[in-house]
A and B are shown apart, each in its own frame.
Chain A
Amino acid sequence: MEKRDSENNIVIDINELVKNFEGFEAVRGVTFSVYAGECLGLLGPNGAGKTTIVKMIYDFSPITAGELRVFGESIVDSARRIKARIGIVPQEDNLDPELTVLENLLVYAGYFRMNRRLAAERAQEILDFMDLSEKADAIVNNLSGGMKRRLTLGRALLNRPELLILDEPTTGLDPYARHMLWQRLRKLKDTGTTMLLTTHYLEEASQLCDRLVILHRGKVIETGGPQELMDRYVGKEVLEMGLSTDDLSALMENSGDLIKDHQKLGDYVLFFTNAGEELSEFMSVKTKSLDVQVNYRRLRPSTLEDVFFKLTGESLGD
């Protein structure tokens, strides 16, 4: 009985999903589920396969192998029915630039076969929710990047989707516009909308997501909540030190529990710790006694980015 309940709560079910482009495996056997009401973050550097997975979920890209079910139905058989229940915010804006803000919403509502009255009603709701009412009659081409993104998100909400898919929704936005969008997404989450979000901004992931799936070169390398992953891999703080790696093992000798783990990153070494101040003092003494030259040092709170460095040995940047 309990198992059945949890099955009913699965919105997206992905099993051993594979996608090959000519001679290139973009997605190599990915398995994960998205549960009703949660915000799941697909995290990974560019080229990890995030967008490819998202495109397969809304039937833009055919599946090479594996299973993909949305609302319990196969996307191959029931694309129209499934797409009527989801909202998609693509990576690049694809609004109609020659139409006004309001016209964009009304035309899009037509694709869901809404009648004119319902369309006008929903469009007005969305203009209010997205704070775009004053711009209703502005031509989309003349909007700022942040407003275009808000309209793109609003457009995806016209059909009151049970599942919202957001593919790098804030890439290229300034911090103000990004926070404006985050606020709306949080409100939607509070009303119970299930979300799948891809991003390579770790701050975005930690702000919005309940659970993360970390992708690397087409495979899932770790799954868990943002805080859980940070606790598991990197602890509370990070001591960054610029020093020669030849001295590393001597430095770390007798450090005991102070160093949870470490990771080389370019010319730096990152020491992950739960006791930053103590480790910092320990290192001051150690470097002096061993006569190690330190070019740079900084103690800072740990972030999801450190988890990513630890897991992949790579940076998450572009």
Chain B
Amino acid sequence: MFNFIDPILYLWAMGFGLGAYITKINDLSYINFLAPGLVASSAMFATSYEMTYDSFTRMSYHRTFHAMVATPVSMDDVVMGEVMYGTFKGVLYGTVFLAVTLLFGLVKSPLAIMVPLPLAVMAVAFSIISMLWTSLAPNYDSFGYFFTLLISPMFLFSGIFFPIETLPEGVRTLAWMTPLYHTVEIVRPLILGNTSWSMAGHVGWLVGFIVLTLRLPLVMVKNRLIK
């Protein structure tokens, strides 16, 4: 619930507050630039919270993973189910926030209807990353590091608040390595209606990331639970 309120607060504080002092970014008013990025980040946060704190609870405290694998369901099925649920939750939160930006009059193009697709691809990626951390987490405290070291820096430096071209070369490369950056670069043109072929590259990056990493959480959760 709170990770839904969060982006609205950002939209108000940064968009209307800070945005009043910023004239234009890439020929856009600041709030127009900002809102699409927050659509992506709200999906990221929803998925990441679900696949860390909540997955960890199901896995280690409620032991529902154990209950499920006592039926014809296998551990691979369980972990894939978690990834699908995390993805669904991300898409849901991102889409609800998209509706909010629509109400604020910040959606400029009918192509915005396609936004849930890149959100889904990104949410799969964040389900994978979060499940990996969860499979190694000794306790709840360790998720603090996950959000401080990985999720928050991504939120700040993936082109949501400012174009990453203003960053030093090295930091820009780091941003390029995050799923959030590529998603923002797809979602923003869809919402603003300035699509280009360069978006295909970002889609390719996300799909490649998923193909390369999808098996990892399956293996890691099994390593943790099955002795």
Contact = CB atoms under 8 A, between A and B. Distances in A.
Q: Classify chain A's interface size.
A: 20 to 34
Contacts of A129: none
B72 A83 contact: yes
Given A59-B69, A112-B71, 13 more contacts: A58-B70, A60-B226, A61-B226, A61-B227, A83-B71, A84-B72, A88-B70, A90-B66, A94-B63, A95-B62, A95-B67, A111-B72, A156-B70
Nearest to A152: B67
A32 to B, nearest CB: 22
A271 interface: no
Nearest to A58: B70
B82 to A, nearest CB: 14
B142 interface: no
Nearest to A86: B70
A263 B68 CA distance: 45
10 contacts: A21-B227, A58-B70, A60-B70, A81-B72, A83-B71, A95-B62, A96-B67, A97-B62, A111-B73, A159-B71
B227 A90 contact: no
A96 B74 contact: no
A84 B72 CA distance: 5
Q: Classify chain B's interface size.
A: 10 to 19
B191 to A, nearest CB: 36
A74 B119 CA distance: 43
Given A61-B227, A92-B63, A94-B62, A79 B74 contact: yes
Contact of B71 (A21, A61, A90, A111): A111
A95 B227 CA distance: 22
A192 interface: no
Contacts of B227: 21, 61
Interface in B60-84: 62-64, 66-74
The B interface is mostly helix, strand or loop, or mixed, namely loop
Contacts of A84: 71-72
A116 interface: no
B72 A90 contact: no
Contacts of B73: 111
Interface string B81-122: 000000000000000000000000000000000000000000
A96 B70 contact: no
Given A80-B74, A94-B62, A97-B62, A60 B67 contact: no
Interface in B32-63: 62-63
B67 A90 contact: yes
A108 interface: yes
Contacts of A156: 70
A136 to B, nearest CB: 19
Contact of B68 (A92, A97, A111): A111
B74 A90 contact: no
Closest 5 CB pairs of A and B: A94-B63, A111-B71, A94-B67, A88-B70, A80-B72
A208 B108 CA distance: 72
B71 A94 contact: no
A70 to B, nearest CB: 13
A73 B180 CA distance: 48
A143 to B, nearest CB: 14
